[in-house]
Amino acid sequence: MTDVRVRIAPSPTGFLHIGTAKTALFNWLFARKYNGTFILRLEDTDVERSAEEYAQAMCEGFHWLGIEWDEGPEFGGVPEKGACGPYRQSQRRELHRREAFRLLEEGKAYKCFCTKEELEEMREQARQQKLPPRYNGTWRNATPEQVATMGDTPYAIRFKVPEGETVIHDLVQGEVRTNNREYDDFVILKPNGDPIFHLAVVVDDGTMKISHVIRGDDHLTNAARHVMLFQALGYELPKFAHLPMVLDEAGKKFSKRLHGANVLDWRDDGYLPEALINYVVLLGWTPEEEGRELFTRDELVEHFSVERLGASPAKFDLKKLQWLNGQHIRRLSTEQLRDRVVPLLEKAGFDTRAKSEAWLTKMTEICQTKIPTLNDIVPYTDFFFVEPAAYEEKAVSKQWKKPGALDRMRTIRALLEGVAPWDHDTLKAAYEQLSETSGEGLGQFVHPTRLACTGKSVGPGLFELLELLGKDVCLERVDKAIQFIETVEEKTP
């Protein structure tokens, strides 16, 4: 396949929606698969709703995902790139107008002088007849003389829908046939000179030589109009692929009001862009290797094919995303993960500068198989930076409010006092020896120690965290735990 040129053309009227990200990903993958060109084009002609801050937020979302465009508008100090610009629809208005008037001159469109009142009357008549609102073609066959008599009266330009049938060979939806009689002569240029979306998108796709239009299936109802315009304008017709939408966990359209609709919500929640890309692609594509779900970005490019895109919408599954995120965290090198979590610890108020790089790397290593998201590093490691302010109540009841709890903690204290050298293997051997000598399970000593040193019942491996905490800190915390148990026993009748 040669000369692949695809685009994502979002309207900057809000954040980067998860559905838009999905469409962008499939376009990006398709371009990378066939060494093609991926284009970002901002459809910012909705002046009332478009805002530069939204454009910036949308581009930020693309950057976080690692979806870099080959051609596109200026963003973040990076100049516009590409030979088919400008890449903001609002800057292409004169081109759209010129093409509308070309259609007019070629007899493929006409001037419509209907007033708002006349158009409303047509809509009312349709409502009364329980029909969809349609333009009745009043000015379709007007003579040049009739048009001339209107003088400077404002007019819209309407496309003259041809007779016959429009057939779309959609790469996802299959063959889609539409009788052109289902469409009225639709407006392509407003009386104020602004282009309608249908004209603008076709002109932009045609002049940018887009080879494949891969977009959401909410545009499938527009596709026939667009094909008619492509043909009327004499542009090469691209291939179409209309993708199903992303549904929320309830099986409904993923509302913009839901947390997670904004792609950057997942960044803030501690998810890796690699994991989100992996998951979102699986919402509309089935790999050839049955049962496989874990892919790197490069592996997705290698295995991607349009033929395996699905036509049915997929429901969002948070648990599956969490699982994938954990898998991608495991795939990072310890140093890569360290560099991602240290800023989160600093943001939480912990002084990581007091620790060496080797210590931070080891801390990351003992958590790497435990944390499902990057943000989980904070509750998993906070005890390394600040002394626990309290103990988990359930763990206290289970470990320290039972007969022999105080004696067991004193035994643990004596054990730790005698450990040398203070490292994982020596600590582990000492605890195993204590378990064997006492005839009690290893957990009877591990769990109380963890609670004393971290305030928690779960976390990194005990012997690893004890080594990193250091002997003096551990003994100090065990002493405080003993004092705590003594106070509890004094209060117990």
CA 218 – CA 371 distance, rounded (Å): 38
Nearest-CA neighbor of 445 among 455, 434, 454, 460?
434
Angle 84-59-48 (CA atoms, 0-180°, nearest 5)? Answer: 85
191 close to 155: Cβ distance less than 8 angstroms? yes
Nearest-CA neighbor of 241 among 215, 269, 205, 267?
215
Distances in Å between the alpha carbon of 265 and those of 14, 192, 253, 271, 348?
A: 13, 39, 18, 9, 18
Looking at residue 55, its pLDDT comes to 83
CA 431 – CA 442 distance, rounded (Å): 7
Three-state DSSP state, 12 = coil
pTM for this model (two decimals): 0.91
Looking at residue 1, its pLDDT comes to 63
Per-residue pLDDT of the chain in tens (493 residues, 90 and over written 9): 679 999 999 988 888 999 999 999 999 999 999 999 999 999 987 766 667 888 888 889 999 999 999 999 988 778 999 999 999 999 999 999 999 999 999 999 999 999 999 999 999 888 988 888 889 999 999 999 999 999 999 999 999 999 999 999 999 999 999 999 999 999 999 999 999 999 999 999 999 999 999 999 999 999 999 999 999 999 999 999 999 999 999 999 999 989 999 999 999 999 999 999 999 999 999 999 999 999 999 999 999 999 999 999 999 999 999 999 999 999 999 999 999 999 999 999 999 999 999 999 999 999 999 999 999 999 999 999 999 999 999 999 999 988 899 999 999 999 999 999 999 999 999 999 999 999 999 999 999 999 999 999 999 999 999 999 999 999 999 999 999 999 887 766 5
**Catalytic position from the list 22, 130, 253, 256:** 256
Three-state DSSP state, 28 = helix
170 close to 242: Cβ distance less than 8 angstroms? yes
62 close to 16: Cβ distance less than 8 angstroms? yes
User: CB atoms < 10 A from the CB of 442, how many?
Assistant: 14
Angle 104-106-108 (CA atoms, 0-180°, nearest 5)? Answer: 65
Looking at residue 131, its pLDDT comes to 86
Q: Bridge partners of 176? A: 168
Nearest-CA neighbor of 377 among 406, 411, 401, 343?
343
Nearest-CA neighbor of 212 among 191, 185, 236?
236
User: CB atoms < 10 A from the CB of 410, how many?
Assistant: 13
Looking at residue 75, its pLDDT comes to 80
Phi-psi region of 139 (alpha: psi -120 to 50; beta: other; left: phi over 0): alpha
Domains and CATH numbers, the chain: 5-87+246-318 (3.40.50.620), 90-243 (3.40.50.620), 332-384 (1.10.8), 393-491 (1.10.10.350)
CA 366 – CA 348 distance, rounded (Å): 20
Prior bond to 86 cis, omega within 30? yes
- How many CA atoms lie less than 13 Å away from 70 in the CB half-sphere? 17
CA 64 – CA 60 distance, rounded (Å): 6
245 close to 216: Cβ distance less than 8 angstroms? yes
User: CB atoms < 10 A from the CB of 404, how many?
Assistant: 10
Please provide residue 156's backbone torsions phi and psi, each rounded to the nearest 5 degrees. -105, 160
Residue 161 amino acid letter: V
Contacts of 225 (CB under 8 A, 6+ apart): 159, 183, 186, 198
256 is catalytic: yes
Sequential DSSP letters for 275-315:
HHHHHHHHTTB--SSTT-----HHHHHHH--GGGB-SS-EE
428 close to 422: Cβ distance less than 8 angstroms? no
Looking at residue 492, its pLDDT comes to 66
CA 265 – CA 140 distance, rounded (Å): 50
CA 367 – CA 372 distance, rounded (Å): 10
